[in-house]
A and B are shown apart, each in its own frame.
Chain A
Amino acid sequence: MGWSEIFLQTLKDNDVRLVTYVPDNVLTPLIDGVTTDNYFMPVNATREDEAIGTVAGAWMGGMKGVVMMQTSGFALIANALASLVVPYQIPAILVVSERGTLGEFNIGQTLVARVMRPTLDTLGIVHHTLTDESTLRFIVDSSIKQAVTTQSPVAFILSPLLTGGDPVADGKLRS
């Protein structure tokens, strides 16, 4: 299995059915996986904070969910994290495909990438940067279980070291 299959299987192993997302090149295998598998309930959201709201509501209704976004989308969610997910103790699972590092052509992406981890740290949100297929299942599985048990959100940052990065962005960098 590749990284995306391992990731989706680990979501299933943990009964995570709702997947809300704003599309991104790197996320494509995950999005394709959830939209072609009846196990998952995909929600193609228009904004990342909207996607978080729906996962929060679903958790309270008894269904676990994950929010998938690109790094730039993370910049839209500070309020949803600070005034909904963290104070209401919602174990939202966040997946951020990492742009802005290891070969980025767009300066805006590089700045958001630098804001991301300090923001998560400030809010006390546990985050893991996933770089390696061999440790992927262990980190994701144990962290989802920890999030649910401790009623706390968790963020998984998908490094280009794991995913190969965004091929379109890479093309622009090298052209």
Chain B
Amino acid sequence: MEKSALKMLNRTDLTKRLVAKLKREEAVVGGIGNTNFDLFAAGHRPQNFYMLGSMGLACPIALGVAMAQPERGVIALEGDGSILMGLGCLATIGNLRPRNLTIVIMDNGLYQITGKQAAATAGATDIVAVARGAGIANSHWVRDEAHFEELIERRFDEGGPILWAAKIDDKPGVGPTIRDPALIRNRFMKGLGTGRGGALDA
């Protein structure tokens, strides 16, 4: 489907729909800025990881989680500006082919959080075409909300790597995440069963 013919969706809405479908303690890595604000706003889960900085590394971080825990579904939520910063990771993932990794790109064609400056994705660049070219054959544009619901009605621990990209509007995320990296990491590891809190977690 041509990018220009896609329905304009909303990040907050899509993120809520996705989180509502997660029933198997899937790990979700939320990219910097609006992407993880909306993940946090959709309702915190112990298996959520929120990035504060390191723009562009949501997919590499999610790949690491997926390799360490091959039985767990892992989802990377990333913005178009962020994935443009590190397109090479799509080639790495396209070659390694982790079956438990799903990437969702929220593509507003903008650097929304820094003042809505245009990104390359507003012009000629098509993220789904890039991902396919990088070796992630199972890469698709999300046509509309119903299509997204259809796509996420699945297990996330098999069938990957998958990339879905959604054209979204220019709205900001709905709220900031708690800005405490050590706490975020600690809680995420507890959620993945890899923490060492022991009695401290009681």
Contact = CB atoms under 8 A, between A and B. Distances in A.
Nearest to B52: A83
Interface in B57-109: 57, 59-69, 72, 86, 88-89, 91-92, 95-96
A55 B57 CA distance: 11
Contact of A60 (B60, B88, B192): B192
Interface in A32-66: 41, 43-47, 49-63, 65
Contact of A79 (B54, B61, B95): B54
Nearest to B63: A54
B67 A54 contact: yes
Contacts of B184: 88
Given A47-B86, A47-B88, A57 B29 contact: yes
A115 interface: no
B194 A62 contact: yes
A57 B62 contact: yes
A83 B89 CA distance: 19
A87 B181 contact: yes
Contacts of A50: 57, 60, 86, 88-89, 92
B182 interface: yes
A53 B181 contact: no
B3 interface: no
A82 B60 contact: no
A88 B185 contact: yes
A90 B185 contact: yes
Contact of A57 (B52, B64, B86, B92): B64
B130 interface: no
A54 B182 contact: no
Interface residues of A, number: 32
A50 to B, nearest CB: 5
A28 interface: no
Nearest to B60: A53
A63 B67 contact: yes
A18 interface: yes
7 contacts: A46-B92, A54-B92, A57-B29, A61-B69, A79-B54, A84-B51, A87-B53
Given A54-B61, A54-B67, A61-B194, 17 more contacts: A41-B67, A45-B60, A46-B89, A47-B86, A47-B88, A49-B54, A56-B61, A57-B65, A58-B67, A59-B64, A60-B64, A60-B68, A61-B72, A62-B69, A65-B64, A84-B54, A88-B184
Interface of A: 18, 41, 43-47, 49-63, 65, 79-80, 82-84, 87-90
